Amino acid sequence: MYENNYSYNPEETHTSVPNYTQGNGGPTPEPPKKKGGRGAVKAVLAVCCMAAVSVGSIAGYKYIDEHGNPFSAKESPAVTANRQLPADDENEEKESANKELPKDNFVSESLISIQDRKETLTTQAIYRKVLPSVVGVTTVFEYQSQSFDFWSFGSDTVTEEVPGTGTGIILSEDGYILTNAHVVSSDSYGVGKKISVRLSDETEYDAVIVGYDRQTDLAVLKADAEGLVPAEFGSSDKLSVGDPALAIGNPLGFDLFGTLTAGYISGLDREISVNDTTMKLIQTDAAINNGNSGGPLINQFGQVIGINSMKLSSSYSSSSAMIEGLGFAIPIDDAKKIIDDLTSHGYVTGRPQLGITYKDLSQASTSYYSQNSASSGVQVVGVNENGPADKAGIKAGDIIVGADGELVSCGEDLKKAIKNHDAGDKIHLTIIRNRNYYDVDVMLEDVKRDSESK
C-alpha cells in the first residue's frame, strides 16, 4: 500500500548571508537585505509526518529517482541591472505540456452553491443523502524502470503501470467531480495516464482532468455521464470547534467503498506546511485514512464543508503513543474560487509564476556550494520553455539568492516574494552563475496550466 508522505517540518529560519564576492572581472551587485523576523514560532511535532491519504490500492507505488542535468538550459537573452547573462550552447530537453481540453469541457458558471443551514439530520440520514454524491477515483500512473538481461549483459527500459485510488465529490449532474490534486498527479510519476470514477451503485465512467492545482491540492475531473447526484455544500466559515463532522470515503481501496466515520471539528484555520506550501485547514478527529483523499467532510445538515486531504501519522515519540485523530480538510469556502477557476479555465487565474522548478541549496551537494560561493539560496532545477524565467535568461543550475533586495535563503523566501506580486509585475532577482552575481528582472506571468513550477 502506497502512502504519499509529506514531511511536516516547522519553518526553518536562515540567518546566514551569502558570501558576496567579486565576480570574475565584473561589478558585484548589492547583496539582498537580510530579512527580519518570520513571525510566530510554530510548534514542533517530534517524529511526525504529514501523510496525504490518496491511495488505498493493494499495489504499492515504487519510488523513482529522477536525475537530470541541472546545468543545461535553452539559450535566452536577458537584460540585467549589472551584467548580461552569458550565453550557453547546451540545450535542455523540455517535457511536453499536458494536452489542453476542448473548450466545451469548461463551464462559465460556478458549480458550487453554498446553501444555508437546514434542519439537523441523523447520522443515518446524512449518509443516505451524501453517499450518492461520493465516487471512487482510480488513477493509473506509468513509470519506467531498467530490466537487466543476464544473457546479453544489457538492460531494457520497461514501462509499468501502477494504480492508485482516492475519493471524489460530484459537483454536477453532467459529470464534473472534485478531488485532490495528489490523487491524479504524483511527484514521482507525474500526471495519471488513465482515470476512472466509480459511483456508489458500482457504475464506472472514464474521466479526464479538467484542471488541477498542487498548491491548494485541488483537482476537477469530467466524466462522460448524465443524471449524477451533486453534493450540497454548506459554509465552512460558519463552523465552530465542537460541531459534528462526518467523513465518507474509500479507505484502503474500493473493498471498503463508502466508509462513514464520525467525530467533531477539532480546530479551525490550522496552518499546516506541506512541501513548502502553507495551507489553512479544518482539523477533525473523524478518521481519515489512505483512500479518503478528495472525499467530503460533512456537517450535521448533510452539507459538504471540506475536502479531506491529509492526516498526521506515525509515532509522536520513539517509545510510546501513536498519533490518532488528526485529520485535515480544505475548507470549501476557501476552495470555491480555485474550483471555479479550474472548471472555467483549467487553471487558477491571477497567480504569478516564474516558470521554474527548484530546490533549496541545502539539498544540493557540498561541492556545489564551493563551486558557486553560496551556502544558502534556491537552486534552479528546471526552466519552463518560453516561460518568464526562460525569457529573462535564467537557466537550470543558477542559484537565486535575492528577490526584490531581500535575502532568499530557501524556497519559502522565494514563494513569499512572488506572492507579493501579481501576474504582469516584475520581480528583481539576484542570482549566482559560475561564481558570478547577476541582477535579473523577470516579468511574472499568469499560470496557464499547473506545470509543477513556481
Distances (CA, A) of 417 to 126, 413, 420: 44, 6, 5
Distance CA 140, CA 59 (A): 11
Distance CA 439, CA 200 (A): 57
* Single-letter amino acid code for the residue at 10: P
Is 149 catalytic? The answer is no
| Sequence-ordered alpha helix ranges (H) in 291-410 | 332-345, 366-372, 388-392
Residue from 57, 88, 182, 309 carrying the catalytic annotation: 182
Is 217 catalytic? The answer is yes
State the CB neighbour count (10 A cutoff) for residue 422. 11
What is the tally of helices (H) and strands (E) in the chain?
A: 6, 24
Largest CA distance in the chain: 76
Is 116 catalytic? The answer is no
Residue whose C-alpha cell is 491519504: 53
Residue from 54, 57, 133, 293 carrying the catalytic annotation: 293
Residue from 172, 186, 213, 217 carrying the catalytic annotation: 217
Beta strands in 303-346 (DSSP E): 304-313, 327-331
Distances (CA, A) of 291 to 287, 308, 403: 12, 10, 40
* Single-letter amino acid code for the residue at 363: Q
366 CA to centre of own chain: 28
Catalytic sites, residue numbers: 182, 217, 293
